[in-house]
């Protein structure tokens, strides 16, 4: 079965390509490499022992998307392609609305035109905004988004619900995941930010490797155990396998459906806990300072993941130490 993976050269996308291939699917990437590198393809080919099919194209090109879906006999799509830097989204909102929502609309139209009905949407725990209670469940009310990026995920989910309600053939699952970290155990693919990282772990590994002078912890006066933000950090390969489980579920379903699942470990760790664990795992002391809060950050969010475990049989297999070990191994191989 040919599965189109938009943004498949990115961090989560590339690891999902591996999980798809190992599950017997044929992943086909479409990525314009605006936020990824072609070297990812070499890493994928080393891991899989075969060439990876890909299109160097932008997902906002309607004609291209129609052609790929039709000519490659695509049976399902996993849609990752989106901008995702919270802070950038607050200063350039139009860029995020045009790309994140525009590419989704183009994809849905192309899927309907081509008769492709199975879609896994890359959503985010940011849809919960600043939740009143933790852990969040799929029934937790969606709060006003704390960032433009988060709002694009909220609106994306609303679009998908409406499309499924109107189209009796469409089958869609939105995966609301938390904070993916780590890398493939081979150290051939991992998180590869262009320029200054937006995520915590690559900033940690680059600081430990001497590429950056110091790490800034954004705020230590939140209402958490140690004053720093709390997040659910999930190994990227666990997250990749959740996409495969969700895809199998809708392919095997005979009726149209829209559903959402939290994907995480079900546990929260603070930024300082993450730093201390990295130092313990690697034996490397980190140079860090406490800075001001960052716009768009919520104090704490982690989820109840019992729904996806019960419905799809998926559960996270890796712990925080393993994820940080893999991230550090990847950093040393870059």
Q: What residues are annotated to the active site?
A: 149
7 φ/ψ angles, rounded to the nearest 5 degrees: 70, 30
Count of other CB atoms within 10 angstroms of residue 22: 13
Number of neighbours of residue 185 by Cβ within 10 angstroms: 15
Q: Tell the residue number behind the tokens 């960032």, with chain if given.
A: 147
Tokens 């035109």 belong to residue: 113
Asked if 120 and 308 touch (Cβ cutoff 8 Å), the reply is: no
Three-class SS of the chain: CEEEEECCCCHHHHHHHHHHHHCCCEEEEECCCCCCCCHHHHHHHHHHCCCCEEECCCCCCHHHHHHHHHHCCEEEEEECCCCCCHHHHHHCHHHHHHHHHHHHHHHHHHHHHHCCCEEEEEEEHHHHCCCCCCCECCCCCCCCCCCHHHHHHHHHHHHHHHHHHHCCCCEEEEEEECEEECECCCCCCECCCCCCCCCHHHHHHHHHCCCCCCEEEECCCCCCCCCCCEECEEEHHHHHHHHHHHHHHHHCCCCCEEEEEEECCCCCEEHHHHHHHHHHHHCCCCCEEEECCCCCCCCEECECCHHHHHHHCCCCCCCHHHHHHHHHHHHHHC
């Amino acid at each position: 079965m040919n599965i189109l993976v938009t943004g498949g050269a990115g961090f989560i996308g590339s690891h999902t390509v591996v999980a798809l291939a190992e599950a017997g699917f044929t992943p086909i990437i479409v990525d314009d490499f605006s936020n990824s590198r072609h070297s990812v393809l070499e890493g994928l080919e080393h891991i899989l022992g075969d060439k990876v099919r890909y299109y160097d194209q932008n997902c906002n090109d309607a004609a291209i998307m129609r052609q790929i879906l039709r000519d490659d006999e695509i049976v399902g799509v996993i849609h990752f392609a989106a901008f995702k830097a919270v802070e950038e989204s607050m200063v350039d909102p139009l860029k995020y609305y045009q790309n994140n929502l525009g590419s989704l609309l183009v994809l849905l139209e192309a899927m309907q035109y081509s008769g492709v009905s199975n879609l896994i949407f890359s959503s985010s725990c940011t849809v919960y905004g600043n939740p009143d209670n933790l852990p969040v469940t799929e029934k937790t009310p969606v709060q006003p988004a704390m960032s433009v990026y988060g709002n694009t995920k909220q609106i994306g989910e609303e679009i998908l619900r409406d499309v499924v309600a109107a189209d009796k053939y469409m089958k869609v699952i939105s995966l609301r995941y938390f904070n993916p970290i780590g890398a493939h155990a081979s150290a051939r693919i991992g998180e590869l930010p262009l320029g200054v990282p937006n995520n915590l772990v690559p900033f940690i590994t680059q600081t430990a490797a001497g590429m950056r002078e110091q790490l800034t912890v954004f705020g230590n006066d939140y209402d958490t155990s140690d004053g720093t933000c709390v997040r659910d950090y999930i190994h990227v390969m666990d997250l990749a396998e959740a996409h495969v489980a969700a895809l199998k579920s809708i392919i095997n379903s005979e009726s149209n459906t829209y559903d959402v699942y939290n994907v995480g470990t079900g546990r929260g760790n603070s930024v300082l806990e993450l730093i201390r664990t990295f130092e313990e795992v690697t034996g490397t002391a980190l140079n860090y300072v406490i800075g001001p809060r960052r716009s768009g950050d919520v104090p704490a969010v982690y989820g109840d993941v019992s729904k996806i475990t019960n419905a799809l049989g998926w559960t996270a297999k890796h712990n925080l130490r393993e994820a940080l070990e893999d991230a550090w191994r990847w950093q040393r191989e870059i």
